Structure 1
């Protein structure tokens, strides 16, 4: 029989167990936790024992003076507090409570099945699809949805000809809840890591071009330090990476930083790396001296996809002109490299990217402003695991040791 995964064990923990454990850690006493939660002391003791058995770790040391979190308990307690705080904050943000104190009793009425229903329907687009994915009957999901709306007294779903859909308020709550639920799973994984040295997974979003290059340059070093690590890399456009980061599908993103960073994200610049116009070795414009806008417009261009930093830079260069021909818009570096080397097409690359390419030449043009930076983007309220923190530290160290023409971003 296959051992339950960390996700399985996280999902097996009830919110009631987690709330009791939070109270024990805060109050340093099973007796005081039982009084605060209006339960008998034996009931709290039994709930804690069951949770420790599910996790395979003792979390609380019992002494004559009280009950105290041990090293595993402190790791797990930090994550559980974040789960409740994030859920309570989300309840306030959708207008179901006026503040965190008012949100707390509301959150105490919520169940895992109710929140799982909201997240499932949000991600799958319908109750029918969520029913298939979660392997729960549509009737059960609809009942959980009604209970959730009843507890919150906020409209989270609305009926259309195509069926029930998630409302904007429901989407807002669902996204926040999805991120909050991850805290429980990360807590389980961190306890496992503390017990047996296993590495928690790291899911990284690698932006095309520089992000992929920077990530590839540090992977070996990270794996040498964490040989049992589970590293998963997603490579998508800037818009998709931002969406994945907001949704919690990736832990952090490496690549060109957006010019406008939304308040829920934090961008850390690492490498200032100006754009340049690039063509193949032997391109006619490499012999033209300083190249004008008119000369650049005479050639076909490969542009970045809409919403990308590269596309915005291209649009600025040719603002107020008809612009050059642009038959291909892509962020796929192998395609760009092949098209450039086999034709007289042009594109934009940063100095960091060009330093890792062969067979391509930078054209002599006016400096392109503003100068972008390659860096790391995270969620504003993200608390990384030790393994995630170490990966980011390795990336920073690599940038500090990088030779010219790279320079540390200010």
Structure 2
């Protein structure tokens, strides 16, 4: 089974045949001869590695694998169409009315590689093609779209707003095709699957490792990739299909209309320091008692940072105690060990560190510090059966971990 985009025209012929039950009707609708349509389906089946249609003199009916591919392929074509529509809205011009009907798999692969790399040269290396080939394919896509997609700059190439809109549709389409391959491999008895999980700091210590171990122990052919980063970066990757699901603190309101948030549990914040801190063994403390010590603050765009800067308004103090800004637990541990530093962090996130005796929660009461922790995914995302099992493990270990 080949990976990546199959031939787009072949996919369209297959979809029309599956819908109508007739190669002849599909050929007419795709403006092809019947022999050409038949050949297109055969080539697609060769690419996928299994028959997709059962043909008789009366009707063509999808096989089990064909039905799996039909649903995903239809979603992929829809994403391309929506991406093209969004690109046309960005231009404000009458770009080609249906350029997504003419785009090729090679053009889509090139566009995604250029978007990821920000450079024709780097994209060419990733695709194992020559730079002139990638450049030529990119310009041919612009010609089909009828609007510029790429702007040269000193450090590489930048996508225009129209290209940004279309590449999102292309990436989502690519994700659907990848999922179809995984579903078909499972149907054929060769368990293959992937899951790209975006992980915010809170879930990395126990929930994600436990879920990963359970999944890897259950499926030999399943691979999990965990991506870390700032929320804004991860949510963009999620919306573009580069990430399947995100686990961590939820946002209120949700960041976009196409995003769904699933709460798993509520978590509280805590004021923390090193066990050797002068305040470590004192009780009935107030925030004011901590202000004479240097603070390590989470970034303002994190839930803990919002609480510190917007609720506690620590920057409005006459002399702000914030001396370090970081969301890294490794940095937090290291700096707390160096001196009398103080920070605010998720209680769940420091549970392991507290048990190890390297971080101490100070007796400072907080109010309004509860936040929802959960899963974030695209609202039209349909996980494969194997991906759903990993999601279930994340849910399961979230429930277990919060009961401890």
Equivalent in the alignment of 2:260: 266
Q: Distance in 2 between matches of 1:177 and 1:56?
A: 23
Matches within 5 A, 1:66-77: 66-77=59-70
- 1:203-236 CA distance string (max 9 Å, x none): 2122123344321232232233324321222233
Equivalent in the alignment of 2:282: 288
3-state DSSP of counterpart to 1:307: coil
- 1:176 pairs with 2:174: no
Equivalent in the alignment of 2:398: 399
Equivalent pair of 2:79/2:173 in contact (CA under 8 Å): yes
- 1:39-82 CA distance string (max 9 Å, x none): 22222222212221222211112234411112111111111111
Equivalent in the alignment of 1:237: 230
1:56 corresponds, among 30, 49, 53, to: 49
Equivalent in the alignment of 2:245: 252
Equivalent in the alignment of 2:303: 309
- 1:72-110 CA distance string (max 9 Å, x none): 111111111111000101111122699xxx988432211
Equivalent pair of 1:20/1:44 in contact (CA under 8 Å): yes
Equivalent pair of 1:275/1:368 in contact (CA under 8 Å): no
Judging changes above 3 Å, is the alpha-carbon distance between structure 1 residues 322 and 312 closer, same or farther for their aligned structure 2 residues?
A: farther
Equivalent pair of 1:251/1:378 in contact (CA under 8 Å): yes
Equivalent in the alignment of 2:347: 351
1:334 corresponds, among 313, 330, 337, to: 330
- Could you tell me how far 1:312 is from its partner in structure 2? 2.1
3-state DSSP of counterpart to 1:24: helix
- Could you tell me how far 1:19 is from its partner in structure 2? 0.8
- 1:111-158 CA distance string (max 9 Å, x none): 122223322332222333333433434443343333322322233234
Aligned length: 395
Q: Distance in 2 between matches of 1:282 and 1:384?
A: 47
Q: Distance in 2 between matches of 1:272 and 1:156?
A: 44
Equivalent pair of 1:276/1:368 in contact (CA under 8 Å): no
Equivalent pair of 2:111/2:167 in contact (CA under 8 Å): yes
Q: Distance in 2 between matches of 1:315 and 1:76?
A: 50
2:146 corresponds, among 141, 153, 159, to: 153
3-state DSSP of counterpart to 1:33: helix
Show structure 2 runs of 5+ residues with no match.
Answer: none
Q: Distance in 2 between matches of 1:162 and 1:284?
A: 50
Equivalent pair of 1:22/1:77 in contact (CA under 8 Å): yes
Q: CA RMSD in A?
A: 2.8
- Could you tell me how far 1:322 is from its partner in structure 2? 4.0
Q: TM-score, normalised by structure 1?
A: 0.86
3-state DSSP of counterpart to 1:94: helix
- 1:161-218 CA distance string (max 9 Å, x none): 7776421221222233122222222212221122124131112122123344321232
Q: Distance in 2 between matches of 1:165 and 1:404?
A: 48
Judging changes above 3 Å, is the alpha-carbon distance between structure 1 residues 97 and 38 closer, same or farther for their aligned structure 2 residues?
A: farther
Equivalent in the alignment of 1:388: 387
Equivalent pair of 1:88/1:103 in contact (CA under 8 Å): no
Equivalent pair of 1:158/1:166 in contact (CA under 8 Å): yes
Judging changes above 3 Å, is the alpha-carbon distance between structure 1 residues 155 and 58 closer, same or farther for their aligned structure 2 residues?
A: same
Equivalent in the alignment of 2:34: 41
Q: Distance in 2 between matches of 1:185 and 1:104?
A: 28
Judging changes above 3 Å, is the alpha-carbon distance between structure 1 residues 356 and 373 closer, same or farther for their aligned structure 2 residues?
A: farther
Equivalent pair of 2:194/2:222 in contact (CA under 8 Å): yes
